[in-house]
Amino acid sequence: MWMYVLALVVLYYVVRWFRELDRVPDRGSKYVYITGCDTGFGNLLARHLDKCGFCVVAACFTEKGEEELKKSCSNRMSTVHLDVTKQECIAKVAAFIKQLVGQKGLWAVVNNAGVSVPSAPCDWLTLDDYKMMLAVNLEGVIGVTLSVLPLIKKARGRVVNVASVFGRISPMGGPYCVSKYGVESFNDSLRLSMRPFGVKVLCIEPGFFKTTVTDGDLILKNTKILWERLPKETKDDYGDNFINKVEALLKEKISKMADGDLMKVVSCMEHAVSAVRPRTRYSPGWDAKFFWLPISYCPSFISDYLFLKDSIKPAKALD
């Protein structure tokens, strides 16, 4: 019996692999708009799609990011300044893209821009901390998408949203998981809304990779800033040694867990953009496939136990 089941599973993956090989034609006439191209996944994807022959519109937050991409890519590459928290900036880029693509429309938008701090226990944070991250990670995704959606409908193209495994499960406090859950919800509702128009909406859910989002030094620096502003009562709840324990945890686990091969994610992004039959969801990273996503399907008492058993305990935690 088990042999038949195994054979069916293998057959399914072989058939899926063959079905997913085909790529869209006429890449040289297809425009792809990518946000967050200064570093990390966005930067690598812009370079990769340029080599694949697409016309890339790379949105960067800094002039340095724009200049470096222009130097290293073909003349098909266009770069623009984009702050996803400012609607006037989003609208300006959308107007530029509309003029650039003409009647062909926009083949794809990849919503990659995102931030990971502030991140801390929920009782360390204020509503403004949540608003700050939601403005980038969620409102930015929605704003950019809606600004170019008519152009994507015209091309019967794609929307690719970069969420996270933490859009499925919340092992840590703070607004990051909240923002990624929001991206997942927006992605699913948009996918259903756009199906009648022939627009494909795809979601990328990476695990831990070595980018600015998982930069231990950045996270620790932010944690210390948040700690210093806490009232004495909250500091007493956690204990004076709590920050040192956080630092040890970041060095011991987070840095080791993060995967340095960013092309695992970029390859999924490229497939979502260029495959004739893209997947609805991609989960790059072994930790995503075999740890985070399976746990997200577990009963809460199991996932809670797994997350809490090795977590840093506050000084006044109940035994």
Residues known to be catalytic? 176
Question: Buried b vs exposed e over 17-32: b needs ≥16 C-beta within 10 Å?
Answer: eeeeeeebeebeebbb
Integer CA distances (angstroms), 150 to 79, 104, 190, 205, in order: 21, 11, 13, 25
Integer CA distances (angstroms), 54 to 116, 166, 200, 270, in order: 30, 31, 18, 11
Asked if residues 293 and 207 have their Cβ atoms less than 8 Å apart, the reply is no
Beta strands (DSSP E) in 163-269 are 200-204
Q: What residue type is 164 in one-letter code?
A: S
Which tokens belong to 141? 């995704």
Which tokens belong to 149? 């959606």
Please give the helix or strand (H or E) that residue 81 lies within, else none.
Answer: strand 78-81
Q: Which residue has the tokens 């590459």?
A: 77
DSSP letter at 62 equals S
Distance of CA 145 to the CA centre of its chain: 14
